[in-house]
């Protein structure tokens, strides 16, 4: 098995057209198997498809999307496979497994009725079940607490994606005050980005989100924060270290959307490729700095700047002194 790899520096210097040409050239003489995950727009698929040659040599492409129109147009000769929602028994099994982590999978009899009503609100969607189970796993197990969660979900009955968003938002609202900023900060990462657990811990400490606790170091406290977010199923483990610790993580795209939405509501963080509001407290930039920051504007409220790109490009025209109140500058390569 071989991989098609382009260095970060080479990729940044290459126009999209030339990148597609290079990929097309590489694959034309190959028999390939490509998985394209989570395509949202027909235009995006059409653009990518131009770089995937059809040489009738047995190559295969697997495309996943939540947009049925894209699935139908990608290959009119094939029939899209519709993923089925979990059955009632499968939903219940997953819920119990995630709620009672260190106990028997069977739900206590005094909680089963409430638990089944909560699971029914998830409509067989695994993410909703896992997140609500992560919330309940942190509760004491009193029926009154489960009933409160059920009522929080049910007070305004909605179905489908709106219902899932409500369940995810409920899990965010249930976080303690010290975990909320840590979760919101995960919105700085691009969709499907795999980040280092050590990196996120250091960022939380640098931002002042972590509070001292006895003789523990701030990094040790932050590691507990990370573990709790994982136990609540708000962060997914991608890789563990050789001794079993958490090494690399990611955040589901719907949970990332939630963190960005809540961060915007609370004026906590702005992720942008265009000029942000001058009241922004934290700013994550992914493209050239000149597209996002105007030296004529005042960013008196800006506390932190997270720059995804080589540091030298940023420091060319825009000096850190421009932001006289900036306390935290982070360069993410």
234 and 166 inside one domain: no
Which residue segment(s) compose the domain that 25 sits in?
Answer: 8-74
Q: Please give the residue that has the higher pLDDT: either 221 or 272.
A: 221
Spatial distance between the Cα atoms of 333 and 316, rounded to a whole number of angstroms: 17
Spatial distance between the Cα atoms of 23 and 68, rounded to a whole number of angstroms: 27
pLDDT of 328 strictly over 60: no
64 and 92 inside one domain: no
Does 200 reside within a domain? yes
Q: Please give the residue that has the higher pLDDT: either 66 or 147.
A: 147
* Cα Rg of the chain (Å, integer): 23
Query: Highest mean pLDDT: which of 33-42, 100-109, 150-159, 164-173?
Result: 164-173
pLDDT tens per residue, range 207-263: 999 999 999 999 999 999 999 999 998 999 999 998 889 999 999 988 998 999 999
222 and 145 inside one domain: no
Regarding pTM above 0.85, the answer is no
Structure tokens, 268: 């906590």
Residues in the chain: 333
166 and 92 inside one domain: yes
36 and 53 inside one domain: yes
Residue 240: per-residue pLDDT: 93
In the block, residue with structure tokens 């909560």: 118
Residue 215: per-residue pLDDT: 92
CATH value at residue 68: 3.40.50.300
What is the layout of strands, in order, in the sheet containing 236-240? Answer: 195-196, 246-250, 236-240
Residue 81: per-residue pLDDT: 83
pLDDT of 182 strictly over 90: yes
96 and 165 inside one domain: yes
Domain limit, last residue, from 114, 143, 173: 173
Does 273 reside within a domain? yes
Of 228, 161, 170, give the one whose Cα is nearest residue 201.
228
> Helix and strand tally (H, E) in the chain?
14, 9
CATH value at residue 242: 1.10.10.10
Termini Cα distance of the chain: 28
Residue 8: per-residue pLDDT: 46
Does 140 reside within a domain? yes
Of 89, 82, 30, give the one whose Cα is nearest residue 54.
30
147 and 194 inside one domain: no
Does 215 reside within a domain? yes
pLDDT tens per residue, range 93-127: 999 999 987 666 688 899 999 999 999 988 888 98
pLDDT of 322 strictly over 70: no
Lowest mean per-residue pLDDT among 34-43, 164-173, 246-255: 34-43
pLDDT of 315 strictly over 80: no
158 and 108 inside one domain: yes
pLDDT of 164 strictly over 90: no
Q: What is the DSSP string of 208-257?
A: T-PPPBTTB-HHHHHHHHHHHHHHTTSSEEEEE-TTS-EEEEE--HHHHH
165 and 184 inside one domain: no
Lowest mean per-residue pLDDT among 26-35, 179-188, 263-272, 286-295: 286-295
Residue 139: per-residue pLDDT: 86
pLDDT tens per residue, range 53-67: 888 888 888 888 877
Spatial distance between the Cα atoms of 264 and 261, rounded to a whole number of angstroms: 5
Band (pLDDT 50/70/90 cuts) for residue 9 is very low
Query: Cα 252 to chain center, whole Å?
Result: 4
57 and 123 inside one domain: no
Write the CB contacts of 97 (distance below 8 Å, at least 6 apart in sequence). 105, 133
Does 50 reside within a domain? yes
Largest CA distance in the chain: 66
Pairing of strands 282-285, 246-250: unpaired
Does 79 reside within a domain? no
Number of domains in the chain: 4
Residue 316: per-residue pLDDT: 45
Domain limit, last residue, from 254, 281, 304: 254
Residue 246: per-residue pLDDT: 93
Contact 111/96 with Cβ under 8 angstroms?
no
The average pLDDT across 289-294 equals: 54
pLDDT of 330 strictly over 70: no
Does 116 reside within a domain? yes
96 and 153 inside one domain: yes
Domain limit, last residue, from 153, 173, 193: 173
The average pLDDT across 270-280 equals: 65
190 and 169 inside one domain: no
Residue 301: per-residue pLDDT: 72
Residue 27: per-residue pLDDT: 86
Q: Mean of the per-residue pLDDT values for the chain? A: 80
The average pLDDT across 189-210 equals: 91
Does 260 reside within a domain? no
């Amino acid at each position: 098995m071989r991989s098609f790899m382009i260095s970060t520096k080479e990729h940044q210097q290459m126009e999209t057209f030339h990148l597609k040409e290079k990929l097309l050239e590489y694959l034309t003489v190959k028999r390939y198997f490509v998985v394209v995950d989570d395509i949202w727009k027909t235009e995006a698929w059409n653009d990518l498809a131009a770089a995937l040659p059809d040489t009738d040599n047995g190559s295969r492409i697997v495309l996943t999307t939540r947009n049925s129109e894209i699935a139908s147009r990608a290959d009119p000769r094939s029939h899209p496979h519709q993923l089925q929602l979990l059955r009632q028994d499968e939903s219940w099994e997953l819920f119990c497994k995630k709620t009672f982590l260190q106990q028997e999978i069977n739900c206590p009899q005094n909680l089963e009725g409430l638990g089944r009503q909560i699971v029914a609100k998830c409509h067989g969607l695994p993410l909703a079940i896992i997140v609500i189970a992560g919330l309940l796993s942190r509760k004491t197990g009193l029926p009154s607490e489960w009933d409160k969660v059920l009522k929080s979900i049910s007070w305004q009955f909605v179905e489908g994606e709106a219902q899932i968003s409500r369940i995810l938002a409920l899990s965010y609202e249930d976080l303690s005050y010290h975990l909320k900023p840590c979760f919101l900060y995960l919105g700085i990462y691009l969709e499907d980005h795999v980040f280092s657990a050590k990196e996120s811990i250091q960022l939380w400490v640098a931002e002042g989100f972590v509070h001292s606790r006895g003789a523990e170091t701030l990094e040790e406290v932050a590691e507990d924060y990370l573990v709790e977010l994982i136990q609540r199923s708000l962060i997914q483990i991608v890789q563990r270290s050789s001794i079993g610790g958490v090494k690399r993580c990611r955040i589901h795209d719907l949970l990332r959307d939630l963190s960005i939405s809540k961060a915007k509501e609370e004026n906590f963080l702005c992720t942008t490729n265009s000029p942000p509001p001058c009241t922004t407290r934290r700013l994550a930039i992914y493209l050239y700095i000149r597209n996002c920051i105007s030296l004529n504007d005042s960013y008196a409220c800006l506390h932190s700047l997270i720059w995804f790109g080589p540091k030298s490009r940023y420091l060319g025209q825009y000096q850190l002194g421009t932001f006289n109140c900036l306390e935290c500058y982070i360069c993410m390569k």
